[in-house]
Amino acid sequence: MLRPDGYVKVLDFGLASTEQPLAPGLGHDSGAQTIPAMTTPGTILGTVSYMSPEQTRGQKLDARSDLWSLGVVLYEMLTGQRPFQGESAPDILVAILDREPQPLSQSISNPPNEAVELEQLLARLLAKSREDRYTSASQLAADLKRLHHRLELDGERAASVNIESATLIKVPTPTAEPRAAALAKTETQPHSLETQSDRNEPVTKELAVVARLSRATIVLVVFLFVALIATASWFLFQQKAPVTTPPATTILLPERSFSYWLTVQRMRDGKPDRAEFQSSGRDFYESGWWFRFNFVSPQSGYLYLINEGPAEGGISYWLMFPMPSVNEALAKIESRQTMTTGWFTFTKDTGDEKIWAIWSANTISELEEIKADVLNPIEQGEIRNPQQRDTVRRLLTSLSQLKSEAEEDRTKQQTVVKGRGDNLIHLVELRHH
């Protein structure tokens, strides 16, 4: 907050906190091990207008999320309005995720010459993808200092031009007096005369000062100060105990859910034995039996099924869905559309068969790229490339941090999975002997 007298007040650290010691009563200087206080996945804490896209989705946050919020503050300081607006909290969330802020040239009357550079700086701060933002506050501070230096140089150039113009201002000449009267006035009042430059000096100084006080310069100085204060506050909070803070706004993300079940065919001597039966996936299955995976959801989205199993020197992955024989190898599933895979066989190796079901509101680019390489007669869905295996492993590790709940519906012989956010993941473990 910028006070009318020029002082800056840093207010409302409602979500700021220090690391909590594991052992009660031990301070930070005792060497006790600490763990970070994490926000529950699927919930949003904070002031909606200043949230980053990843924060609105309830994802894990880092320093780049704070830089987004700082970018919102800079935009508001420059224009007097917030970059993402709406009549309600959900409307603001949509604006943050899908819309771009109004350009400075349309939001500021008489924008400075450096408006283009300011817009580039803001565009980097308010990039939807955190990968496109500044990686640290020090990078932002360096760009702000460079821009501030240019503004100062432009102000000095403008001041020098105004000084030259001021010296050309003519003071009105009074009506000419007789030479004798002028000489008499000179003799009687020798110290009352002013030179032309003396009369113009106050005007010159005022113009020079005004030239330096551009709105953009003031804002950048204040914002740089706020950025440094925020950085210093971070280190300060590492040393001090947390203070009582007002409750933050909590917004729940839209719920996503899906149901799955197995169609199982018993096999004996390589031939079907009795009729197929439906299973919620929590029964025991015998080696050699066949099964299909069935899926349905009230929302539309993109489904990926990945089979995880042991392999020489690590873990193997198979892409079970999408597949060429079903849904034209597309991951897109419409709402209420029942998807059924082809037949799979329980191997002779006993134990648990792991199938990762990923239900996403958007396509997952990493899996789409892998799909293009493995859906062919040679690989038949097996992910053999070591780099692609690492990509899948990192993706599963990241998504596994999301919170979900699974409940068996014994009446329908189905399992229902629920969660909040754009991505929903569930590990299906099929036990066979």
Q: Please name every residue paired with 257 in a beta bridge, in sequence order, or none if there are none.
A: 418
Predicted confidence at residue 224, as pLDDT, reads 66
pLDDT at 431: 84
Residue found under tokens 């690989």: 379
Distances (CA, A) of 344 to 203, 209, 290, 307, 381: 89, 80, 5, 11, 12
- In whole angstroms, what is the distance from residue 14 CA to residue 51 CA? 13
Q: What is the pLDDT of residue 127?
A: 93
The type of residue at 330 is: L
Closest CA to 210 of 153, 162, 151: 162
Position 113 scores a pLDDT of 66
| Residue tagged 């701060």 (tokens) | 125
pTM above 0.85, yes or no: no
Map the chain to HEC letters. CECCCCCECCCCCCCCCCCEECCCCCCHHHCCCEECCCCCCCEEECCHHHCCHHHHCCCCCCHHHHHHHHHHHHHHHHHCCCCCCCCCHHHHHHHHHHCCCCCHHHHCCCCCCCHHHHHHHHHHHCCCCHHHCCCCHHHHHHHHHHHHHHHHHHHHHHHHHHHHHHHCCCCCCCCCCCHHHHHHHHHHCCCCCCCHHHHHHHHHHHHHHHHHCCHHHHHHHHHHHHHHHHHHHHHHHHHCCCCCCCCCCEEECCEEEEEEEEEEECEECCEECCCCEEECCCCEECCCCEEEEEEECCCCEEEEEEEEEEECCEEEEEEEECECCEHHHCCEECCCCCEECCCEECCCCCEEEEEEEEEECCCCHHHHHHHHHHCCCCCCCEECCHHHHHHHHHHHHHHCCCCEEEEEECCCCEEEEEEECCEEEEEEEEEEC
Phi-psi region of 392 (alpha: psi -120 to 50; beta: other; left: phi over 0): alpha
Cβ-in-10-Å burial (0-12, 13-18, 19+) of 220 comes to: buried
Sequence-separated (6 or more) residues with CB below 8 Å from residue 248: 14, 15, 45, 46, 47
Predicted local confidence at residue 44, as pLDDT: 59
pLDDT of residue 251: 64
Tens digit of each residue's pLDDT, the chain (433 residues): 778 888 888 776 666 655 544 444 333 343 433 334 444 445 556 688 889 998 888 888 889 999 999 999 989 888 888 999 988 888 898 889 988 998 887 877 777 666 778 888 899 999 999 999 998 888 898 888 888 887 777 777 666 655 444 444 444 444 444 444 444 444 444 444 444 444 444 444 444 444 444 555 666 666 666 666 666 555 555 554 454 545 555 566 788 999 999 999 999 888 999 999 999 988 888 888 999 999 999 999 999 999 998 766 678 899 999 998 898 899 999 999 999 999 998 876 667 789 999 999 999 999 999 999 999 888 889 999 999 999 999 999 989 888 889 999 989 999 999 999 899 999 999 987 7
Instruction: Give the model's pLDDT for residue 235.
Output: 53
The token duo for 183 is 């000489």
The pLDDT assigned to 169 comes to 43
Cα three-residue angle 356-358-360, rounded to 5 degrees: 175
Q: Among 380, 260, 270, which Cα is nearest to 317's?
A: 380
